[in-house]
């Protein structure tokens, strides 16, 4: 998504800030569009539309995108799903649209963690130095696998 990058440890939710789900970064979105961070299969798409994960076929690395914090409590209000679990998607493809004003009105933060869950031991995540990113255009982070291979960018 497009917006200002925020270090994962600045997400006001310990599950993300303490990297319990994986390493990554967060975005303070400036528009309500969530795109596929990598090409692969949409392996998870929460019915409320607030969270999805895409798995890259070659490496098996997946990227979890969680739109906002505690937005599951909105039960899908303000979210429009544009894809379905099991579908193959390409990096930058729109997956969900969301209403930033509705998230704020519901009393939730729109800060959106983007994490790499279940990385193999020795893998390293590097976050871009950019302060702002554009959906589908900029690399947020890279993953270096223990064998020195780089996984497709985010």
- Residue 26: both structure tokens together: 């967060």
Residue 139's alpha-carbon distances to 34, 95, 127, 132, 134, in angstroms, are 14, 17, 9, 11, 9
In the residue annotation, 50 being an active-site residue is answered as no
**Which one of 46, 50, 66, 108 is the catalytic residue?**
66
- Distance of alpha carbon 130 from alpha carbon 22, whole angstroms: 21
Q: Which residue numbers are catalytic?
A: 66
């Amino acid at each position: 998504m497009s917006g200002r990058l925020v270090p994962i440890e600045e997400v006001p939710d310990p599950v993300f800030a303490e990297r319990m789900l994986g390493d990554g970064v967060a975005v303070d979105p400036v528009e309500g569009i969530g795109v596929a961070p990598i090409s692969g299969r949409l392996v998870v798409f929460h019915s409320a539309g607030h969270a999805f994960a895409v798995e890259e076929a070659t490496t098996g690395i997946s990227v979890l995108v969680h739109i906002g914090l505690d937005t599951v409590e909105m039960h899908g209000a303000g979210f429009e799903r544009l894809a379905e679990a099991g579908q193959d998607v390409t990096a930058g493809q729109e997956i969900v649209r969301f209403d930033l004003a509705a998230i704020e009105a519901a009393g939730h933060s729109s800060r959106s963690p983007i994490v790499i869950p279940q990385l193999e031991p020795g893998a390293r995540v590097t976050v871009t130095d950019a302060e702002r990113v554009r959906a589908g255009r900029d690399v947020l982070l890279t993953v270096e696998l223990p064998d020195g291979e780089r996984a497709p960018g985010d």
